[in-house]
Amino acid sequence: MTQTLLKLAVFSAKPYDKKYLRLAKEQTQVAVDVVFYDFALGRKTISVVQGVDAVCAFVNDDLSAPILQALKEAGVRAVLMRCAGYNNVDLKAAKELGIFVANVPSYSPESVAEFTVALLQVLNRQIHRAYNRVREGNFSLHGLVGHTLHDKTVGLVGLGKIGFSVARILKGYGCRLLAYDPFPNKAFEEYGEFRSLEELLPECDIISLHCPLTEQTRHIINESTLKLIKKGALLINTSRGGLIHTKSVINALKRRELGGLAIDVYEAEGDLFYKDHSGEIIQDDQIMRLLTFPNVVVTGHQAFLTAEALNEIALTTFQNLNDFVMGKACPNSLIKE
């Protein structure tokens, strides 16, 4: 007798996702038939889930209440997020519908932390401009003066796994470290000091965001908090785009109050990131304005993208699926009793 295969639909699946998920699948005990879709899960694509048992989604897939309702009606019983953040999942609706949801809470925080420091240094030492100049045969150093990180004060907003990893790296650079986190981790005392957000912002030469996107943190960087930031400070965001009120940051850059911005995430990234729009007329005027500043560096949500992280994400995703199928208590379940 043939065993009924569980059907898993993977959305927003890029070649690197497929590679690592296929490798992880070989190591899992779950009899699963995996179908990959390169497009995102949303209103226009939901029809493909008919007869699917579980979906695997990423940061820009839509898992709002209406989509979860439609998933439930199609027979989907589990949502496997292959990321840490889950601000795009309506957990309350999932719980009411009895849909299992799990994430990958920790996968190589060093991947994101190291990328954060790389972005900071690209911005600080103007490597993005130097790279373009040299390719054009322009070896002038005019306007490329940066700063040492040594002795600079860095403020970490959110000191979880990634924030802490950034702290460890920057300690090596000789930075003075401050952090704001409503749930302070005492282990940080070896590295720096905690401050309230209002105290931290005026003290820092560099501010790096590492808190999750929640109702409390949405637009944590806004018109009024920007006024507290020291003139000329650099702002780095590798966490979630919604932490920054983009229009206010553009204005602060135009007024030359903010010294520079490096972002791997953008509040309206859902329609843009992970796709090639190079032959199109991009309609988003805010991202296009940001790209015109010499002191702004933008990357397309790639801080996680290392072989190590992809491997851990894939293995944990299948572990979560295994727990769900076996009816085991899943440590990564986001549905709290």
Q: Which of 51/182 has CB closer to ligand NAD?
A: 182
Q: How far is the CB of 232 from ligand NAD (least distance, A)?
A: 23
Catalytic residue status for 43 = no
Q: Which of 48/197 has CB closer to ligand NAD?
A: 197
Catalytic residue status for 240 = yes
- Contact window for ligand NAD (CB under 6 A) among 138-146, 154-162, 272-280, 316-324: 154-162
Of these, 10, 71, 112, 313, which contacts ligand NAD (CB under 6 A)? 112
Of these, 204, 241, 301, 318, which contacts ligand NAD (CB under 6 A)? 301
Catalytic residue among 82, 176, 203, 240: 240
**Strand, helix or coil for residue 111:** helix
Cβ distance 209 to 179 under 8 Å? no
- The owner of tokens 């994430």 is 103
Residue nearest to ligand NAD (CB): 160
Nearest partner of 258 among 266, 249, 267, 245, judged by Cα: 249
Q: Is 157 in the site for ligand NAD (CB under 6 A)?
A: yes
Q: Element (H or E) spanning 100, and its range?
A: strand 100-102
Q: Which of 76/211 has CB closer to ligand NAD?
A: 211
- Interface residues for ligand NAD in 165-204 (CB under 6 A)? 180-183
Per the structure block, which two tokens stand in for 232?
Answer: 């000329």
Give the residue ranges of DSSP H helices in the chain: 15-27, 65-74, 91-97, 109-124, 127-135, 161-173, 197-203, 223-228, 246-254, 285-292, 307-326
Cβ distance 324 to 305 under 8 Å? no
Q: Element (H or E) spanning 180, and its range?
A: strand 176-180
H helix and E strand count, the chain: 11, 12
Q: Is 212 in the site for ligand NAD (CB under 6 A)?
A: yes
- Contact window for ligand NAD (CB under 6 A) among 121-129, 136-144, 159-167, 318-326: 159-167
- Interface residues for ligand NAD in 259-298 (CB under 6 A)? 264-265
Q: How far is the CB of 226 from ligand NAD (least distance, A)?
A: 16
- Return d(Cα 214, Cα 235) in angstroms, integer: 20
Q: Is 156 in the site for ligand NAD (CB under 6 A)?
A: no
Count of positions (residues) in the chain: 337
- Interface residues for ligand NAD in 67-106 (CB under 6 A)? 84-85
- Interface residues for ligand NAD in 216-255 (CB under 6 A)? 216-217, 238-240
Active site residues: 240, 269
